[in-house]
Structure 1
């Protein structure tokens, strides 16, 4: 990973920490714990050789591909969700969105401008923007509280999608609703990201949550899904409105 200069992870690390004399910089105090551990292995710590390092890191971090992506991709195509939203999610799961880190890796954006639009000070990757950002991740907490479930967000966005889709169990109607909510969330987050980046406008996380409620309601209503308790109860208890709670 640290010698393949054309590989995905090498380019990500260069964008994050920089390069000097053909060697990745250590990142100083701002370096993450896992990167400091990898440096110790790279520099000979732990008594391991380069072949072991390359193979084990590839197993943990991947090499730009992921066998679970194809499985998760089947969940993005939802009959009640606009096609543009599913396409966004499809690109997200393959890390093909024009996030700042992806633009920096391609030389389209300077490295100093690749921080998250939330102002948290971290690099804008898909994992960060949609899952681990200390600002934006609160949206998932709002949504889980709304439907009355609890959970911990996985770091990986693919794992996050699959886990979220089955929070209510494996019943088809419940899984379908959770898929729809996840897609609504990523659509709202990406739209908010673009508005902050290009339009200099900003919503609170609670306002984003209300957008998720509205999107999910109107997507289902457009598909003639019956809301048994009416629109006003939707914002308080969506599951009974769909007859699945």
Structure 2
């Protein structure tokens, strides 16, 4: 089934590698209990997954591991969008993007070229006070903060927002397919703000983050 193919995309069971012990999360993928890029790469290699691209993928510490993994796979074009499902021999009723319906779906189109996603990015750009956000590939999204003269905390927060935006767009895409939910640019944007606030607020150690500051992107 199409839904089974999507749900099995992350065939490494990340949740099984996490445990809450003694008031903190412990990573079971390493004997030390500490998460490391080396350990996650080793697990992916054992599962037959490909290694990351030649340039260094910068994992964002302010968002959950599952979102970093999603972005890692998106950069490698290994997310179960329609174009990839067709390549795997999975039958689909359509290959058109479920959010705009005007072009064949690929991860590049979904996150950077889709008219729906472009409208979302426009709202995000206004929120974080960046003149525009035009991306031509997933790599452009991942590396966007590299070219901005930002203080480190602001850079990390912006990276978290970019990754969260991609993740929420992906979830909206799945809702449109599996639950036939009518998609909404404003709802997606509001979800991005609230979800990223929760993730960043719980992980940012340098300062206490208020909703008022986050809503105005005052870092």
Shorter-chain TM-score above 0.5:
yes
Say if 2:126 is the partner of 1:148: no
Q: CA RMSD in A?
A: 2.0
Structure that is richer in helix per residue: 1
Say if 2:138 is the partner of 1:157: yes
- Residue-by-residue CA offset, 1:121-157 (whole Å, 9 max, x unaligned): 2100111100010122211111110011113413121
Higher RCO (C-alpha under 8 Å, 6+ residues apart):
2
Q: Equivalents in 1 of 2:195, 2:148: separation in Å?
A: 20
The structure 2 residue matched to 1:108, chosen from 90, 105, 108, is 90
Say if 2:61 is the partner of 1:79: yes
- Residue-by-residue CA offset, 1:217-245 (whole Å, 9 max, x unaligned): 111221254346x323422x12x2x3xxx
Matched with 1:183 is 163
Listed as ranges, the gaps of 5+ residues in structure 2 are: 1-51
Matched with 1:91 is 73
2:120/2:188 contact within 8 Å kept: yes
Matched with 1:195 is 175
Q: CA 1:171 to 1:232, structure 2 compared with 1: closer, same or farther past 3 Å?
A: closer
Q: TM-score, normalization: structure 1?
A: 0.62
Q: CA 1:201 to 1:100, structure 2 compared with 1: closer, same or farther past 3 Å?
A: same
Quick check: which has more Rg, 1 or 2? Answer: 1
Residues 24-173 of structure 1: pairs in structure 2 closer than 5 A: 69-71=53-55, 73=57, 75=58, 77-110=59-92, 113-163=94-144, 165-166=145-146, 168-173=148-153
Q: Equivalents in 2 of 1:152, 1:86: separation in Å?
A: 20
Q: Equivalents in 1 of 2:115, 2:180: separation in Å?
A: 20
Q: Equivalents in 2 of 1:72, 1:217: separation in Å?
A: 26
Q: TM-score, normalization: structure 2?
A: 0.69
Q: CA 1:203 to 1:232, structure 2 compared with 1: closer, same or farther past 3 Å?
A: farther
Q: CA 1:70 to 1:227, structure 2 compared with 1: closer, same or farther past 3 Å?
A: farther
Q: Equivalents in 2 of 1:224, 1:151: separation in Å?
A: 26
Q: Equivalents in 1 of 2:160, 2:121: separation in Å?
A: 13
Say if 2:175 is the partner of 1:209: no
- Residue-by-residue CA offset, 1:153-197 (whole Å, 9 max, x unaligned): 13121023212x246425322221121011100110110011111
Matched with 1:34 is none
Say if 2:154 is the partner of 1:174: yes
Question: Which consecutive segments of 4 or more residues in structure 1 shift more than 6 A?
Answer: none
Listed as ranges, the gaps of 5+ residues in structure 1 are: 1-67
Matched with 2:11 is none
